[in-house]
Amino acid sequence: MSETQLPDRLDVVAVAPHPDDLEILCGGTLAKLVKQGYKVGILDLTSGEPTPRGSLETRKQEAEEARRILGVPVRINVELPNRVLMDGPENRYKLATVFRTYRPGIVIAAAGRTPAASPDHHQGHLIAEAARFYSQLTKWDDRFAGTAPYRVPHLVYAPYPFDAEHRTWHSTFVVDISETIEQKMEAIRAYRSQFDDERFARVRHMVGSANGYHGARCGFRYGELFALPHPVGAPDLVALVHGSKPTAPPDVPVGQGHLPMG
Ligand SMILES: [Zn+2]
147 C-alpha vs ligand 1 centroid, how far in Å? 29
pLDDT band at 113 (very low <50, low <70, confident <90, very high): very high
Contacts (Cβ under 8 Å, ≥6 apart) of 215: 174, 176, 177, 178, 221, 222, 223
Ligand 1 centroid to Cα of residue 6, in Å, is 30
Ligand 1 centroid – CA 159 distance (Å): 12
pLDDT (0 to 100) of residue 250: 59
pLDDT at 50: 94
Q: How far does the centroid of ligand 1 lie from the alpha carbon of residue 247, in Å?
A: 39
What is the Å distance from ligand 1's center to 19 Cα? Answer: 7
pLDDT for the residue 247 = 64
Has residue 22 got a pLDDT over 60? Answer: yes
Residue 31 predicted with pLDDT over 60? yes
| Cα(89) to centroid(ligand 1), Å | 22
DSSP code string of 120-178: HHHHHHHHHHHHHHHTT-SS-GGGGTTPPP----EEEEEE-TT-SS----SEEEEEE-T
Question: 216 C-alpha vs ligand 1 centroid, how far in Å?
Answer: 26
Q: Domains in the chain and their CATH numbers?
A: 7-233 (3.40.50.10320)
How far is residue 20's CA from residue 113's CA, in Å, rounded to a whole number? 17
Q: What is the pLDDT of residues 81-101, one digit of tens each?
A: 999 999 999 999 999 999 999
How far is the centre of ligand 1, averaged over its atoms, from the C-alpha of 21 (Å)? 5
Mean predicted confidence (pLDDT) in 54-64: 96
Contacts of 213 (CB under 8 A, 6+ apart): none
Instruction: Tell me the β-bridge partners of 109.
Output: 15, 157
- Give yes or no for residue 257 having a pLDDT over 90: no
Comparison of pLDDT for 262 and 152, the residue scoring more: 152
**107, 93 Cβ separation under 8 angstroms:** no
DSSP structure string for 1-19? --GGGSPPP-SEEEEESST
What's the chain's Rg over C-alpha atoms?
19
> What integer pLDDT is reported at residue 249 of this predicted model?
63
- Residue 75 DSSP SS3: strand
Instruction: Quote the ligand 1 centre to 135 CA distance (angstroms).
Output: 24
pTM, two decimal places: 0.94
Per-residue pLDDT of 137-179, as tens digits, reads: 999 999 999 999 999 999 999 999 989 998 999 999 999 999 9
CA distances to 192, 198, 204, 211, 221 from 201, in Å: 12, 5, 5, 15, 20
- The Å distance, Cα 2 to ligand 1 centre, comes to 34
Instruction: State in Å: Cα 17 to ligand 1 middle.
Output: 6
pLDDT of the residue at 27: 98
